[in-house]
Chain A
Amino acid sequence: MTVASDDRVRLTEAEKSARRKRSIAIAIVLVALVAIFYVVSIVKMAP
């Protein structure tokens, strides 16, 4: 990580890559969670 003259943090490639992977993983988990709760609701409501 390096610090620019305006004090804003600039991420290294490794930090950017790790953050991107974490973001994608969180997105996948959230979508999966929504799908799971949807499926549970539908199955529970079925006669």
Chain B
Amino acid sequence: MTLLDTTTPTTTGGTISLAEPRDFITLLKPRVMSLVVLTAVAGLVVSPGALHPTLAVISILAIAVGAGAAGALNMWYDADIDAVMTRTAKRPVPMGRVSPEAALSFGLILSILSVMLLGLASNWFAAAFLAFTIFFYAVIYTMGLKRSTPQNIVIGGAAGAFPPMIGWAAVTGDASVNSFILFLIIFLWTPPHFWALALFKLRDYGDAGVPMLPNVAGERSTKLQIFAYSVVLAPVAVLPWILGFAGVAYGAVATVLGLNFVRHAWAVLNMADGDERMIPAKKLFGFSILYLFGLFAMLIVDAAVAPLLGLGA
């Protein structure tokens, strides 16, 4: 990690920050947070049991803030490689709007607050799970795996897959096989999602020295692995219906979305080597976001709305 000079120096040795609240909001990775909120809500509403609605909302807020804290710690540590990549160069730390020290403090304070809040609002098992998830993302993935192995996304993807299990645990106080299925869906989704991005941002990751699969194993191997993960992901995403904790409406949506995911992955597999435009990879990346939002939104609709209409599982 490189420390960047980000603030205006004074003659007395202090510094004056130009950081505004919106810069700190950017540190939280709001788009990732929105996905975390969606998947955590899904885990919470699908779980057997009930949590007081107010405590449920506060628990989701705590999980979202915890995810944001992990994002801030990631941006603190990765400022040097973020500055090199076009996708991340405008983040607050490489842009010099927030100092690395401020980003680190912000991330640590929010981590502690979010874990404490989740423990008080729901239970300490869920809080410990959230603390482990922040640690896994900020330390194991960001500081360890990301720069050392092309399988970084596969193992690191676990951090992004924990939120539905935390949402579930907020209600039940434990982790079950069914909540693990929700974990598995995101865990299997992450590699094809990020490798599709890495295919058309290959040069970016190469310049930054991040060992993403396309730069290390080559395009051919990456396309094969994207397809393999997609073929496993599609049926696993239908399991909530088969195992009976989601209704037939979810099962139908998961099947259609899954078939489309495999279709996009097949197009990537058949993309000519050296294709500069990478249209199929861009399409798969875009669809993968829609896919995950669709699946988890449907889980929520199925669990919360369908029973009211007499259409539930």
Contacts and interface: CB of A to CB of B under 8 A. Distances in A.
Interface of A: 1, 3, 7, 9, 11, 14-15, 18-19, 21-22, 24-25, 33, 36-37, 39-40, 43-44
Given A3-B10, A25-B24, A40-B121, 20 more contacts: A1-B10, A7-B12, A9-B10, A9-B12, A9-B16, A14-B18, A15-B17, A18-B19, A18-B20, A19-B17, A22-B20, A24-B21, A33-B113, A36-B117, A37-B117, A40-B54, A40-B55, A40-B117, A40-B120, A44-B120
B54 A43 contact: yes
A16 B118 CA distance: 35
A20 B96 CA distance: 19
A45 to B, nearest CB: 12
A24 B21 CA distance: 9
Contacts of B14: 9
Contacts, number: 51
A22 B97 CA distance: 13
A interface: dominant SS: helix
Contacts of B19: 18, 22
A9 B12 CA distance: 8
Nearest to A17: B20
B17 to A, nearest CB: 7
B18 A43 contact: no
Contact of B55 (A11, A25, A43): A43
A39 B24 CA distance: 26
A16 to B, nearest CB: 10
A47 to B, nearest CB: 12
Nearest to A1: B8
